Structure 1
Amino acid sequence: MAQADIGLIGLGVMGANLALNIADKGYHVAVYNRTQSRTEAFAAAAGPLSDRITATATLEDFVAAIKPPRPVIIMVQAGDPVDEQIAALKPLLQDSDIIIDAGNANFRDTMRRFENLKGNGPGFVGMGVSGGAEGARHGPSIMVGGAEADWRRIEPVLTAISAKYKGEPCAAWLGDNGAGHFVKTIHNGIEYADMQMIAEVYGVMRDHLNMDAVSIASVFSVWASGPLDSYLIDITAEVLKTHDLASGKPLVDVIVDAAGQKGTGRWSVIESQMMGVPATAIEAAVAARSLSAMRGERAAAEHRFGLPAIVDRREGQAVIDDLEQALLAGKIAAYAQGFAVMAAASKEFDWNLPMATIARIWRAGCIIRSRFLDEIAAAFSETPDVDNLAMTPAFSAMLEATDRPLRRVVSDAVINGLPAPALSNAVSYFDTYRRARGTANLIQAQRDFFGSHGFERFDADGEQHGPWGG
Structure 2
Amino acid sequence: MTNQLFDFGMIGLGVMGQNFLYNLADHDFKVLGFDKDIKKTTALEAEAPQGTIVKGVNSLEDLVSGLATPRRIMLLVPAGKPVDDVINSLRPLVEPGDVIIDGGNSHYTDTLRRVNDLHATGIHFMGMGVSGGEQGARTGPSIMPGGNQIAWHAVQPILEAVAAKVNGVPCVSYLGTGAAGHYVKMVHNGIEYAIMQLISEAYDILRRGLELSNDELHDVFKTWNEGRLQSFLIEVTRDIFGFKEPDSDQYLIDLIKDQAKSKGTGKWTSQEAMDLAVSIPTIDMAVAMRNLSVYKEERVQAAGIYQSKAGHINFTDEMLSGLEQSLCFCFTIAYAQGLSMLASASTAHSMEIPLADVVQVWKG
**Normalising by structure 2, what TM-score?**
0.96
* Deviation, structure 1 residue 121: 4.1
Aligned residue in 2 for 1:239: 240
Letter in 2 for 1:15: G
* Deviation, structure 1 residue 47: 4.3
Letter in 2 for 1:160: A
User: Greater shift after overlay, 141-150 or 233-242?
Assistant: 233-242
* Deviation, structure 1 residue 24: 1.1
3-state SS, counterpart of residue 91 of structure 2: helix
3-state SS, counterpart of residue 174 of structure 1: coil
- State the alpha-carbon separation in 1 of the partners of residues 315 and 32 from structure 2: 59
Letter in 1 for 2:146: G
3-state SS, counterpart of residue 144 of structure 2: strand
Aligned residue in 2 for 1:404: none
3-state SS, counterpart of residue 86 of structure 2: helix
Aligned residue in 2 for 1:8: 10
3-state SS, counterpart of residue 48 of structure 1: coil
- State the alpha-carbon separation in 1 of the partners of residues 318 and 157 from structure 2: 50
Aligned residue in 1 for 2:209: 208
Q: List 4+ stretches of structure 1 deviating above 6 A.
A: none
* Deviation, structure 1 residue 234: 1.9
3-state SS, counterpart of residue 68 of structure 1: coil
1:141-196 CA deviation, whole Å, 9 max, x = no partner?
A: 11110011110111011111111111111111011110011101111111111111
Aligned residue in 2 for 1:41: 43
- State the alpha-carbon separation in 2 of the partners of residues 101 and 310 from structure 1: 49
- State the alpha-carbon separation in 2 of the partners of residues 70 and 347 from structure 1: 32
Matched, 1:344 2:305: no
Structure-to-structure mapping, 1:255-294, within 5 angstroms: 255-294=256-295
Structure-to-structure mapping, 1:31-430, within 5 angstroms: 31-49=33-51, 51-303=52-304, 305-310=305-310, 313-364=313-364
3-state SS, counterpart of residue 143 of structure 1: strand
Given that residues 269 and 282 in structure 1 are in contact (C-alpha distance below 8 angstroms), is that contact kept between their aligned partners in structure 2?
yes
1:324-380 CA deviation, whole Å, 9 max, x = no partner?
A: 12111211211111001100001111222111111111112xxxxxxxxxxxxxxxx
Given that residues 90 and 121 in structure 1 are in contact (C-alpha distance below 8 angstroms), is that contact kept between their aligned partners in structure 2?
no
Given that residues 141 and 163 in structure 1 are in contact (C-alpha distance below 8 angstroms), is that contact kept between their aligned partners in structure 2?
yes
- State the alpha-carbon separation in 1 of the partners of residues 122 and 82 from structure 2: 19
- State the alpha-carbon separation in 2 of the partners of residues 126 and 192 from structure 1: 21
- State the alpha-carbon separation in 2 of the partners of residues 348 and 6 from structure 1: 34
Letter in 1 for 2:322: D
3-state SS, counterpart of residue 187 of structure 2: helix
- State the alpha-carbon separation in 1 of the partners of residues 241 and 139 from structure 2: 25
- State the alpha-carbon separation in 1 of the partners of residues 181 and 256 from structure 2: 34
Given that residues 4 and 54 in structure 1 are in contact (C-alpha distance below 8 angstroms), is that contact kept between their aligned partners in structure 2?
no
3-state SS, counterpart of residue 92 of structure 2: helix
Letter in 2 for 1:347: T
3-state SS, counterpart of residue 143 of structure 2: strand
1:414-439 CA deviation, whole Å, 9 max, x = no partner?
A: xxxxxxxxxxxxxxxxxxxxxxxxxx
Letter in 1 for 2:155: I
Letter in 2 for 1:349: H
Give the number of aligned pairs: 362
- State the alpha-carbon separation in 1 of the partners of residues 167 and 32 from structure 2: 31
Aligned residue in 2 for 1:424: none
Bigger Rg over Cα: 1
Letter in 1 for 2:207: R
Give the superposed CA RMSD: 1.4
- State the alpha-carbon separation in 1 of the partners of residues 181 and 258 from structure 2: 32
Are residues 260 and 327 of structure 1, via their aligned partners in 2, closer, same or farther at CA, if it must alter by over 3 Å? same
3-state SS, counterpart of residue 245 of structure 1: coil
Aligned residue in 2 for 1:375: none
Gaps of 5+ in 2: none
* Deviation, structure 1 residue 246: 3.4
3-state SS, counterpart of residue 175 of structure 1: coil
1:190-226 CA deviation, whole Å, 9 max, x = no partner?
A: 1111111011010011111111111111111122222
Report % sequence identity. Answer: 39
* Deviation, structure 1 residue 245: 2.6
Aligned residue in 2 for 1:456: none
- State the alpha-carbon separation in 2 of the partners of residues 231 and 320 from structure 1: 20
Given that residues 4 and 67 in structure 1 are in contact (C-alpha distance below 8 angstroms), is that contact kept between their aligned partners in structure 2?
yes
- State the alpha-carbon separation in 1 of the partners of residues 306 and 44 from structure 2: 52
- State the alpha-carbon separation in 2 of the partners of residues 157 and 285 from structure 1: 35
* Deviation, structure 1 residue 266: 0.9
Are residues 354 and 247 of structure 1, via their aligned partners in 2, closer, same or farther at CA, if it must alter by over 3 Å? same
* Deviation, structure 1 residue 314: 4.8
Are residues 10 and 320 of structure 1, via their aligned partners in 2, closer, same or farther at CA, if it must alter by over 3 Å? same
Aligned residue in 2 for 1:412: none
Given that residues 211 and 312 in structure 2 are in contact (C-alpha distance below 8 angstroms), is that contact kept between their aligned partners in structure 1?
no
- State the alpha-carbon separation in 2 of the partners of residues 142 and 18 from structure 1: 11
